[in-house]
Chains A and B, each alone.
Chain A
Amino acid sequence: MEMQNVDVNFSASVDSQSQADLSTDVVLNQDLSDVTFDPTKTLFLKNKLTTTSI
């Protein structure tokens, strides 16, 4: 069963904050040169084989 109420509640809370929208041009001009992530806070597999199929 899909959680319709989840989507509704979620949309309502976001709409109230959407005035901070930025244009695509502005966003794409940002650079990520100072962006780094903390590996201890991210989820990844400790092995390179990540998909298996038969």
Chain B
Amino acid sequence: MRALCDLLPCQERASFLGTRIRAGLLQSLEHLIEVNKSVLGVNYLKGRTLIEHLNLARTVKLPGLFYALNSFLLQATSSRQTQSIYSDISILFEIPLLEEIRYFNFTERESDNKRNELLRKYILFELPQEGDISEPATEESEKTKLLIKEALKLISECDEETYKEIIEFVSEFMILKTNVLKAGSSFDLYGLIFINVANADRGVINMVDLIIHEVSHLYLYNLGIEDPLVLNEYEEKYYSPIKERERPMLGVYHAAFVLTRVVRFLRILRKSNLLNFLSDILEIDTLIDQYYKIVSDSLEIVNSSAKLTNLGRDIMQSTEEGVKS
């Protein structure tokens, strides 16, 4: 198994980390259900039974909203939001459990209100206040879904370890409509990648880029439950070459790592015989040049101003070696 600091994807490591975070989530939910026993009523027993079941059904992928509910319960328990705990725990029983990756649309039915409140809270984190998400049109979302599947097929044909890591880490692709992002991921929605339906017209290389990018974020989020990686205060802001605005150091750090992984994959794809169109080759060349520059600038900022843990430093070393190779 590759070391945790190694830039290169590894199915065995991803499986280990996926099992660890899954067990950590179930333990956490079980504990939060137990400490809130007095306010949960019948949902106390339902919750305990569900966790017991999921501890045995190890191949079942946990939906991103389970992580959101865990984060919400932590905060609600601390701030004693009795009513919210009582009502929102029901989210646990409303989400389908899966053995394979689930593709679904963000929907705005009244019955989705509680879930959407959590989705909005975590998706729109750090984004401008006027930003919002909404339900995509069916035709466009179907096109996006097909494009995601086409991208996954191309990734699997190009680099097996990258593909297997994706399968280990991703539980859901949620398609949404928004004017503030192309795609994203969150520790609070771990395993769920949200993708803007506007990508439907951007082609497969763009989708490959987005998927590798977001799964690399998930990798760092996974490590972040044991090791903060970056010790700079959240309130300290630094110029982010990818966002072209000020961000916490962890944002600059993440960008260096994820874009190096994208560059690495695109270099392999560029050398393969899997590309049929000159336009795809040209798009890859442009992306590699663009990301190489952003990574170089980001590494300069990290090297000059970041306070890193030992693992955080080793990951950056592997990143620097990876982008230069």
Contact = CB atoms under 8 A, between A and B. Distances in A.
Interface of A: 1-3, 6-7, 9-10, 13-14, 17-18, 20-22, 24, 26-28, 30-33, 35-38, 41-54
B221 A3 contact: no
A41 B31 contact: yes
B186 A30 contact: no
Given A1-B99, A32-B80, A46-B225, A54 B210 contact: yes
Say whether chain B's binding surface is mostly helix, strand, loop, or mixed: helix
Interface residues of B, number: 72
B293 to A, nearest CB: 16
Interface stretch (B118-126, B137-145, B272-280): B118-126
B52 to A, nearest CB: 9
Contacts of B217: 52
A36 to B, nearest CB: 7
Contact of A30 (B38, B224, B228): B38
B234 A49 contact: yes
A35 B76 CA distance: 11
A9 B28 CA distance: 23
Contacts of B53: 6, 9-10, 13
Nearest to B101: A1
Contact of A3 (B25, B50, B97): B97
A36 B189 CA distance: 24
B98 A27 contact: no
A51 B187 contact: yes
Nearest to A26: B41
B213 interface: yes
A32 B82 contact: yes
Contact of B126 (A6, A17, A33, A51): A51
B317 interface: no
B234 to A, nearest CB: 4
Contact of B31 (A1, A38, A47, A51): A38
